[in-house]
Amino acid sequence: MPLTDTAIRQAKPADKPIKMTDGDGLFLLLQPTGSKLWRYDYRFAGKRKTLAIGAYPAVSLAAARKALAAAREQLASGVDPAATKKDAKRAARLAAENSFEAVARSWWASWKTSRTEGTAHAAIRALENHVFPHIGSTPITSVQPVDVLELLRKIEAKGATDMLKRVRARIGEIYIHAIANGLAKSNPAEGLHKAVKPHQGEHRPALRASELREFFIRLDAVRISKPIKLAIQLLTLTFVRPGELRCAQWHEFDLEAGTWTVPAERDRSRGLTGMKMREEHVVPLSCQAVAALRELQDHTAGSDLLFPNRNGQGRPISENTINSALRAMGYQAGQVTGHGFRATATGALLELGYRPDVIDRQLAHRERKQVFAAYSHHAQFMAERRAMMQAWADHLDALQTGAKIIPFRNGANG
């Protein structure tokens, strides 16, 4: 006799499981604990099997009969309903494990090993703020271009086109990782740069070479400590990144040979960062740079750092120290920053005829064209760079003294 909702509700548990039959193999298993479980007994390929349909009352009598009809239809088509359910559960579990966020964090864990701590932190924070809230729980294979476009347009609406560009690039890298590991077959971010506002890159504030004479006059007159004046002088002479200079240690320098080897990594527990691309970089030092370093040695006795923090603890000066000194010289943030000397030197050296690849190597830029990079990675251009750095220092001397500037060509076109 078929079951009724009333009979099911009124059924009381006993010491042993009770089987309440509905018909066609469907029955309700009443457990001693009081739970009521729908089951379907059937035969497939000559073997007796049982399909778990769900628990009452979450699965009603009508829903259980509907599930029974679907299972019988599968059997009629030669499909095992229990195996189908097992496969569906496995697919759901894999989808959860391969959600966009799970795959993104896997990508990030690998990607960050060749990046600085700050760059790695910024990347994951961008994903946490702008991407995961929208598609983080979605299976990596289910994310559609329209999903990515929607989140990009939310960033675009805020006017943050630089962040938009970075986020789109990160999503693309995540899908390259997913495709390489067999977790996805296509990249839904591909081509979406055409559907959003492009980012107009902002150059870091920098002086023109023609403004350096006034700059050196101000540097000489400003009332700041001698080590910080020397730090600024060294930035103009070497045009390294400010972080590479402020965290420098004396053992990295060979003043007799006129070289500075900036390590890929430094002791981060002391706040010391190495190269941006985590690749060792050799900086040829001009005579003027060596002289400035020898003078600096008189101010740092007892410290392994060129620019120790006055608060001690073996840490370097803060990242704001040089920019604060530039503000003390009367320059606004929109006029010049410590990083801007790289642009100043680059523009001047290009005008003076030096080859872009030599300048780029001195700047420690990573070659962006992958095929060329494979052949140029070990090209240091050291002889040309050494000649260029000395000529640049001589050029700065001439600017400071107000001498007539004659374009230098030694090694420029070699």
SS3 58: coil
Check if 377 is active-site.
no
In angstroms, rounded to a whole number, what is the distance separating the alpha carbons of residues 265 and 78? 63
Of the candidates 105, 112, 197, 365, the residue annotated as catalytic is 365
Of the candidates 130, 166, 168, 241, the residue annotated as catalytic is 241
Check if 339 is active-site.
yes
In angstroms, rounded to a whole number, what is the distance separating the alpha carbons of residues 208 and 351? 12
Check if 218 is active-site.
no
Which residues sit opposite 281 in a β-bridge?
Answer: 262
Of the candidates 229, 342, 361, 395, the residue annotated as catalytic is 342
Of the candidates 168, 246, 276, 361, the residue annotated as catalytic is 276
Ramachandran assignment for 375, one of left (phi > 0), alpha (psi -120 to 50 degrees), beta (any other): alpha
Check if 241 is active-site.
yes
In angstroms, rounded to a whole number, what is the distance separating the alpha carbons of residues 135 and 145? 11
Supply the Cα-derived Rg of the chain in whole angstroms. 34
Q: How far apart are the first and last CA of the chain?
A: 99
Of the candidates 177, 339, 361, 386, the residue annotated as catalytic is 339
Nearest to 103, CA basis, from 173, 166, 150:
173
Residue 160 has a CB neighbour count (10 Å cut-off) of 15
Query: How big is the CA angle at 391 (ends 385 and 393), to the nearest 5 degrees?
Result: 105
Strand extents, DSSP E, 285-350? none
Task: Decide: 108 and 126 in contact? Cβ < 8 Å.
Answer: no
SS3 69: helix
Task: Decide: 8 and 61 in contact? Cβ < 8 Å.
Answer: yes
What are the percentages of helix, strand and coil residues in the chain, rounded to 5? 50, 10, 40
Check if 366 is active-site.
no
In angstroms, rounded to a whole number, what is the distance separating the alpha carbons of residues 123 and 98? 20
Of the candidates 194, 375, 378, 404, the residue annotated as catalytic is 375
Check if 365 is active-site.
yes
Residue 86 has a CB neighbour count (10 Å cut-off) of 11
Cα 154 to the center of its chain, rounded Å: 20
In angstroms, rounded to a whole number, what is the distance separating the alpha carbons of residues 43 and 52? 14
Known catalytic residues are 241, 276, 339, 342, 365, 375
